[in-house]
């Protein structure tokens, strides 16, 4: 029987590839429903892209941020400007400093912008997913909607007084959406999503920061209303360019991700023994890869790209490729069938390009079938991997990402405490922080004549982040809507205590914690035909 990929190769090649979560950072979870929304985010259908007029700005080799860095004076927060000094001392992702500005900012330079304000909106979820979220995760791990909004407002208050906004301040307005995210992610309730974009317009939005309370449909409707959206997930580079200058995200694209992941596997795993498998017989065998992916065009396209690279460039074709439908009611049945196929074909190493919950069902059924392969899965954060049982299966899992510091040592936590020393942020604080960090940097770099096009120009001109940031390296440039710029390789340790939630189970660094540029050329710096060097763990 032909695989889904074989049947749809021509159409998939014309579709932008969607990424794994990110190759270099923790999962974004922005609202109490976000955990579950990520589960079904890959259900997004392929909707015709209605291209907007893209910006004609180019910045060449000159960086606007460098120009700012040359100016003498003090910032609005009192930082003394000098070459290479950042706007704030507490962020490694801040733009170069801009001395306190005075003058005429042009007043209403764009819709949503006045002489004194920049309006942003947030669509409060109108979804029925709360019960499903509670089924998998206790409230202390995901927080409440009120906590998320309070944390967002705290960061906005901090950034308003720290970044140069040329006489303006950002004002957050919220509204209860009519669209149901679950329906939108399955290509339904399109009219309600459009109505919500009109609600944002009626509130005077220059930008919308709905994050994971958003969807591909909603973001596209916002772009059609000339409203910037920050935080889009699972979209290809072509999608961002099609909707320029209105779509941005601190997550990577699949165009990069598929190539980088394939290169890592090809160089450090292909045609070598499956030494991380739980089955002693597999450990002695040359790897035979199997691929599991959500069966929709965008994610299947990403899987096709990865499989093609492994086959053509590293002589390591997939032994078995299986698509599945993301449906909790069918998860056990599908997992049982998929595991049986992988086992019968002798697959030693399962590449699981899966949603965050499907590994829970795969691991359980694999144990029941006495199947103990290597797992090469997406890292959706400790909160998900801790749910995989038995943990003896996940002790054989390899992923890409960042080893995060304890919460209280994170930049995002420290920034929150600068504004609210006695308060407690939402458990999702780090994922609320990062999109706002990118947004405010773009506002400062845009200058006083703020429009979507000068905002895009400002984003493209931002300087690279300083070394050793908590969220990996960020790098900007022409047509860079997504700044992640490096990656590392991780292994799951079921016994080590997580720095994020204090429970057993977290990622540990492989290859001595070395990080590589997030590109094919960066992945090509990995040793060729040499095993990944990961610490041993006890399952």
What are the pLDDT digits (tens) for 378-415? Answer: 888 888 899 999 999 999 999 988 888 899 999 999 99
377 with 274, same domain?
Answer: yes
206 with 311, same domain?
Answer: no
201 with 259, same domain?
Answer: no
pLDDT of residue 285: 97
Q: Is 216 a domain residue? A: yes
Instruction: Report in angstroms the alpha-carbon separations of 36 from 22, 40, 113, 127, 390.
Output: 17, 7, 34, 11, 22
33 with 75, same domain?
Answer: yes
**Kind of pairing between the strands at 397-401 and 228-230:** unpaired
Query: How confident is the prediction for the chain on average, in pLDDT?
Result: 84
The CATH number of residue 502's host domain is 3.40.50.2300
Q: Where are the alpha helices (DSSP H) in 381-478?
A: 382-385, 391-394, 411-419, 429-446, 452-461
Using an 8 Å Cβ cutoff, are 350 and 372 in contact? no
Q: Is 114 a domain residue? A: yes
pLDDT of residue 93: 97
Using CB atoms within 10 A of its CB, is residue 536 exposed (0-12), middle (13-18) or buried (19+)? exposed
Q: Is 469 a domain residue? A: no
Count up the domains in the chain and report the number: 2
Residue 464 in this model has a pLDDT that exceeds 60? yes
Max intra-chain CA distance, the chain: 73
220 with 325, same domain?
Answer: no
The three-class DSSP label of residue 407 is: helix
State the DSSP code for 24.
Answer: S
Distance, CA of 299 to CA of 296 (rounded, Å): 6
431 with 515, same domain?
Answer: no
**Can you tell me the mean pLDDT for 127-140?**
59
Owning domain of residue 310? 255-405+485-523
Contacts of 148 (CB under 8 A, 6+ apart): 30, 31, 32, 426, 428, 432
396 with 413, same domain?
Answer: no
Q: Is 16 a domain residue? A: no
Which residues on neighbouring strands pair with residue 396, listed in sequence order?
Answer: none
Q: Is 471 a domain residue? A: no
Q: Is 472 a domain residue? A: no
Q: How confident is the model at residue 369 (pLDDT cuts 50, 70, 90)?
A: very high
pLDDT tens per residue across span 472-497? 999 999 999 999 999 899 999 999 99
Q: How confident is the model at residue 271 (pLDDT cuts 50, 70, 90)?
A: very high
pLDDT tens per residue across span 7-57? 343 333 333 322 222 333 332 333 333 333 333 333 333 333 344 443 333
Instruction: Report in angstroms the alpha-carbon separations of 63 from 86, 461, 475.
Output: 14, 5, 12
Residue with tokens 């909160």: 383
Residue with tokens 């998939």: 12
Distance, CA of 385 to CA of 383 (rounded, Å): 6
Q: Is 529 a domain residue? A: no
**Can you tell me the mean pLDDT for 74-103?**
96
Distance, CA of 147 to CA of 153 (rounded, Å): 10
pLDDT of residue 212: 63
pLDDT of residue 26: 31
pLDDT of residue 124: 86
366 with 497, same domain?
Answer: yes
The three-class DSSP label of residue 497 is: strand
106 with 158, same domain?
Answer: yes
Residue with tokens 């440039």: 477
Instruction: Report in angstroms the alpha-carbon separations of 406 from 349, 398, 430, 470, 494.
Output: 31, 21, 12, 10, 17
291 with 329, same domain?
Answer: yes
87 with 229, same domain?
Answer: yes
Using an 8 Å Cβ cutoff, are 447 and 455 in contact? no
Using an 8 Å Cβ cutoff, are 34 and 211 in contact? yes
Range with the poorest average pLDDT among 64-73, 191-200, 508-517, 527-536: 64-73
pLDDT tens per residue across span 425-458? 998 898 899 999 999 999 999 999 999 999 999 9
pLDDT tens per residue across span 90-133? 999 999 999 999 999 999 999 999 999 999 999 987 654 444 55
Q: Is 6 a domain residue? A: no
339 with 274, same domain?
Answer: yes
């Amino acid at each position: 029987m032909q695989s889904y990929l074989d049947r749809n190769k021509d159409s998939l090649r014309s579709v932008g590839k969607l990424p794994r979560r990110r190759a270099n950072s923790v999962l974004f979870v922005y609202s109490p429903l976000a955990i579950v929304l990520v589960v079904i985010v890959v259900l997004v259908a392929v909707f015709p892209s209605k291209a907007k007029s893209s910006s004609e700005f180019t910045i060449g080799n000159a960086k606007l941020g460098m120009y700012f860095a040359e100016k003498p004076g003090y910032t609005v927060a009192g930082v003394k400007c000098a070459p290479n000094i950042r706007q704030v001392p507490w962020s490694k992702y801040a733009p170069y400093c801009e001395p306190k500005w005075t003058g005429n900012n042009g007043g209403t330079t764009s819709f949503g912008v006045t002489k004194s304000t920049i309006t942003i909106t947030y669509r409060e979820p109108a979804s029925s997913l709360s019960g499903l979220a509670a089924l998998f995760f206790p409230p202390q791990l995901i927080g409440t909607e009120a906590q998320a909004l309070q944390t967002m407002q705290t960061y906005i208050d901090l950034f308003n007084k720290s970044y140069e906004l040329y006489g303006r301040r950002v004002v957050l307005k919220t509204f209860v959406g009519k669209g149901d995210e679950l329906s939108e992610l399955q290509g339904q309730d399109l009219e309600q999503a459009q109505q919500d974009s009109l609600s944002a317009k009626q509130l005077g939005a220059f930008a919308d920061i709905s994050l994971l309370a958003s969807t591909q449909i909603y973001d596209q409707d916002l772009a059609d209303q000339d409203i910037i959206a920050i935080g889009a997930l699972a979209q290809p580079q072509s999608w961002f360019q099609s909707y320029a200058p209105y779509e941005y995200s601190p997550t990577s694209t699949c165009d990069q991700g598929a190539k980088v992941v394939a290169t890592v596997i090809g160089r450090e795993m292909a045609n070598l023994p499956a030494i991380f498998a739980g089955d002693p017989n597999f450990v002695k065998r040359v790897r035979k890869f199997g691929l599991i992916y959500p069966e929709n065009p965008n994610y299947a396209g990403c899987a096709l790209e990865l499989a093609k690279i492994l086959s053509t460039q590293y002589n390591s074709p997939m032994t078995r490729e299986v698509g599945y439908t993301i449906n909790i009611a069918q998860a056990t049945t599908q997992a049982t069938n998929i595991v049986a196929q992988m086992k019968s074909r002798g697959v030693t190493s399962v590449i699981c390009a899966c949603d965050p919950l499907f590994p829970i069902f795969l691991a359980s059924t694999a144990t029941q079938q006495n199947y103990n392969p290597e797992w090469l899965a997406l890292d959706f954060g400790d909160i998900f991997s801790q749910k995989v049982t038995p943990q003896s299966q996940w002790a054989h899992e390899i992923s890409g990402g960042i080893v995060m510091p304890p919460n209280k040592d994170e930049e995002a936590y420290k920034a929150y405490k600068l504004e609210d020393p006695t308060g407690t942020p939402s458990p999702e604080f780090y994922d609320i922080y990062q999109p706002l960090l990118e947004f405010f940097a773009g506002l400062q770099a845009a200058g006083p004549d703020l429009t979507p096009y000068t905002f895009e120009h400002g984003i493209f001109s931002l300087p690279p982040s300083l070394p050793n940031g908590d969220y990996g390296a960020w790098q900007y440039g022409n047509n860079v809507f997504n700044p992640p710029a490096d990656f590392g390789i991780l292994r799951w340790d079921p016994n080590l205590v997580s720095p994020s939630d204090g429970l057993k189970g977290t990622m540990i660094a492989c290859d001595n914690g070395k990080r590589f540029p997030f590109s094919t050329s960066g992945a090509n710096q990995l040793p060729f035909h040499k095993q990944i060097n990961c610490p041993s763990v006890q399952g």
